[in-house]
Every structure is written in structure tokens, then in C-alpha cells.
Structure 1
Amino acid sequence: MKLPGRGLLQGLRRHVGLASLADRGFAFLFDPGPAGEVVSLDCETTGLDIRRDQVISVAAVMVRGQRIITSERFEAVVRPDLMPREDSIKVHQLRASDVAAGRPMEEVLPGLLRFIGGRPLLGYYIDFDIAMLDRHVRAMLRVGLPNQRIELSGLYYERKYGDAPPGTVLDLRFAAMLRDLGIPDLGQHDAGRDAVMVAMMYLQLLDLARRRVRIPRTSSRIAETAPIGA
């Protein structure tokens, strides 16, 4: 028995997703995004429990070809149902008064979805960010985000550890990746800055892959800063 091809499976998923969509005004989510465009996405949350914690800020930055288009970005502070705890405030520096001035996710989400469109979503542990957003997307549209996902740590792993011998100690921390790729630390745990840094690392990793260059496991800096466009 011949298994269905990838194109057929994608078509079936699109058909099922569109059939379940609560608002046809968002059918564009199931259309391929413009060629060569990726959206770098990051959320700051009240914690790491997908079932209980909530998004308090979200940012998305456009990557077009080999450039990060910082003038094309989406950023919003989100007012959660529960205010952030003291331990999470120490991480993202968003106080209860800051998020209280934000908008509820129900108001933020439509604009975010229109910015994203059908483009692939890039992130550092992107599955977590999408899972946090999908709670609200499903409540609004009855379907989750159908976008392709690009996991930054996976690309980094392949470039640094893909040929490593068994037993090699892995370091997939955000700070370690910045250091290895020669990307300046713009200040972590701010959704907008994190999204830009992720995009910069992504372009560096694509360039390394094109040149078939691996990240030395004994070096801390190998590349110049990725180009950013206005």
C-alpha cells in the first residue's frame, strides 16, 4: 500500500483545519506565507505551566530573505487574568502595574494572527510559545495555529553537536548560543529583544549550514552579526 505524499497530507490538514475554523476571516492562516519570509516569535509568561500560567507579553519580528526587518514587528503587553508572581517579575521585569495597563489577549490576538499569517514561526523552544498562544487561538477559532515551526535550538544542535561523539555534554542555553554565534546580548526576557536575537541567530545558522561549517565545540565566537534591515 502506497502512503500518501507530503503534499497530500498537507492538503488534508488544510481541508480539515478550514472545515473546523470558527471564523472564515482567518482562513489566511492556512495559506502559505510569502516565499522567503519567516516570523520570529517570543512570549513572556507568568510561568512555565502551560495549563495554568498566562502570556503577559508577545512579540513577532519579520525575517525576509537574509534580513531582519525590524520596522515590521508586532509587540503587545497582555493583561492576564492572574497577575504575575514575584519570581516571574524578577525574570521579565514586568510588574503587576505594567501588565494591568495591557490589553486582554482577546484584543491582542487578531492583530498578532494577521501579522503572522501563514508564515513559518521561528523561536527558542517555539512549541512552548505556541502552546501558550493556542489556548486562546482555539477558544477564538476552534483550531490551533497551523503554521510550520522552526526550532532554533534544533538548528544550533545540528551545527554544533550533529557530529559529536556519544556522551558529549550539551549546552543549549540561550546565552551559550548567543556567545557561540557572536550575537550581542540585547537583554534577555524581553519579548521584542528575544525575538530579534532569535532571528539573528537563525540567519547565522542558515549561513553556517549553507557553507557546511560546524560550530567548534571549543570556540566561543565564530561569526559576524547577522544583518538587520529597517
Structure 2
Amino acid sequence: MFHTLKQAWAKHRLPASSPYLPLYEPHPDELVSFDCETTSLNVKEAHIISIGAVKIRGNRILTDESFYVLVKPEGIMSATNVTIHGLRPKDLKDGLDIETAIKQFLAFVGGRTLVGYFLEYDVAMVNKFLKPMAGITLPQKQIEISRIYHAQETRHKYYDAEIDLKMATMVNALGIPDLPRHDALNDAINVAMMYLALRHRRV
């Protein structure tokens, strides 16, 4: 309830000509799975280096309507981080500035519900840059797939049973293809497949 009121107030404060108003208009038929690759797992110090997203309509993943951008980061990237996502400084030298990347991402998403794996982190990263730009945070509804998976796995177990929530474990349990990970678009598509599998899973 508080979240709804907070977002309504944020929308009310936007001017009628604001390009961010579509974020507050829910889409009845589509969702967006998205993922960010970053320079760190610490939100305060991290920078976004790529954003990937794909639309979901009904039981279809619209890979022909996907979104992917590289972002030129500020500061120096650590060698350890490069080994995770494979993006080197020279790969990002022609990337977009963060404000342009965020604006393009928001234009793609609109008011669609966001789907993700440990989505709180990715949303926090976008909000880190969106808040200074527009004075708002992402208002869309959010679906965390690890929460759905955990609920399904504990349905017939003790409430405090330990559940492995690693993506590889979840992908294997759901029996879906596993695209190469730590690529923002591949991860977004993986999450979309996991979401649909969870929706139709019988446990």
C-alpha cells in the first residue's frame, strides 16, 4: 500500500511532458526480463557496463524484440571483474554514456512488470543513476524468480529447508537450456525461460 502511494505521488510530481510518465502505465499483456552487468557487486561503488532485456508475451519470449547496450564505465575496471563478464575496457570504449543507456532502457520497458534473478540488485543499480536524472525510482511491479522457485521447492518440505538458489541449479531443476551466463542479454533470456518454466511447473 505504501509503495503504491509513494509511486502515485512520484507520478503526480512529474510534469505532463515528462518522458518518464509511460513507466507508470502497466502493460496488460507483456513483461520484461532484464539483467545488468556491472563493475562490482557493491551498489555504492559499481558502474553498469551492459544492460540486457527481453519481452515476454503470454508463453512466448520475444527474442526479436530484445534490448542490449554496452555502457562506457567511469573509473578503472578490475581484472577479476573482467574475467567474470568478459567485457574489457576496449570493448566498452564506444559504449553509451550511462544516462543515454538508462533512457533507452526505460523507453524499451515502459510500464511492463520487471522479471529478474536477484532483481533487487539490478533495480538498485538502475535506480542509482535514475534517481539523480529524474527524481524517481523504477515504479514497475517486480517479479523475483528465485522467490517463486524457493516457494515451490519448500511446498512439500520443512519451512526452514535449505534450498540451493544458484542459477545453474535452478536451470538444471527446471530442465531448460542454459545460455552462456554473465552476458546481460543471455541472462535476461535465461531468466525469461525460467519464469515461464516456473509458471507451468507442477510440484
Q: Same fold by TM (over 0.5)?
A: yes
Which residue pairs with 1:140 in the alignment? 133
Q: 121-130 vs 76-85, which deviates more? A: 76-85
- Residue in structure 2 matched with residue 27 of structure 1 by the alignment: 21
Query: Which range moves more in the overlay, 65-74 or 79-88?
Result: 79-88
Relative to the length of structure 2, the TM-score reads 0.94
Opposite residue 104 of structure 2, the aligned amino acid is G
Q: Which has the larger radius of gyration?
A: 1
Structure 2 Cα separation of the partners of residues 134 and 79 of structure 1:
18
**Residue type of the partner of 1:150?**
I
Residue 173 (structure 1) aligns with: 166
1:99 matched residue in structure 2: 92
Please state how far the C-alpha of 1:109 moved relative to its aligned partner: 1.4
CA distance in 2, matches of 1:196, 1:203: 11
Contact kept in structure 1, 2:51 and 2:185, CA below 8 Å = yes
Name structure 2 gaps, 5 residues minimum: none
Is the CA contact (8 Å cut-off) linking 1:20 and 1:142 kept in structure 2? no
Give the SS at the match of 1:155.
helix
1:70 CA drift (Å): 0.3
C-alpha contact (below 8 Å) 1:46/1:85 kept by paired residues:
yes
Q: Normalized against structure 1, the TM-score is what? A: 0.83
Please name the residue that 1:39 is paired with.
Answer: 32
Which residue pairs with 1:152 in the alignment? 145
- Contact 2:123/2:138 (8 A) holds in 1: yes
- Normalized per residue, which structure has more strand? 2
The total of aligned residue pairs comes to: 202
Q: Which residue of the partner structure matches residue 185 of structure 2?
A: 192
Identify which range, 165-174 or 143-152, moves more after superposition: 165-174
Distance (Å, rounded) in 1 between the aligned partners of 2:19 and 2:46: 29
Paired residue secondary structure (1:202): helix
Structure 1 counterpart SS, 2:20:
helix
**Match among 101, 122, 129 for residue 108 of structure 1:** 101
Contact 1:20 1:143 in 2 (8 A): no
Q: Which among 37, 48, 60 is matched to residue 55 of structure 1?
A: 48
- 3-state DSSP of counterpart to 1:84: coil
Write out the 4+ residue segments of structure 1 that deviate beyond 4 Å after TM superposition.
Answer: none
CA distance in structure 2 between the partners assigned to 1:9 and 1:128 by the alignment: 18
SS of structure 2 residue aligned to 1:168: coil
Residue 45 of structure 1 aligns with an amino acid whose one-letter code is T
Q: Match of 1:49, as an amino acid?
A: N
In angstroms, what is the RMSD of aligned CA positions?
A: 1.7
1-structure distance, mates of 2:84, 2:141: 29
Change (3 A) 1:9 1:54: closer
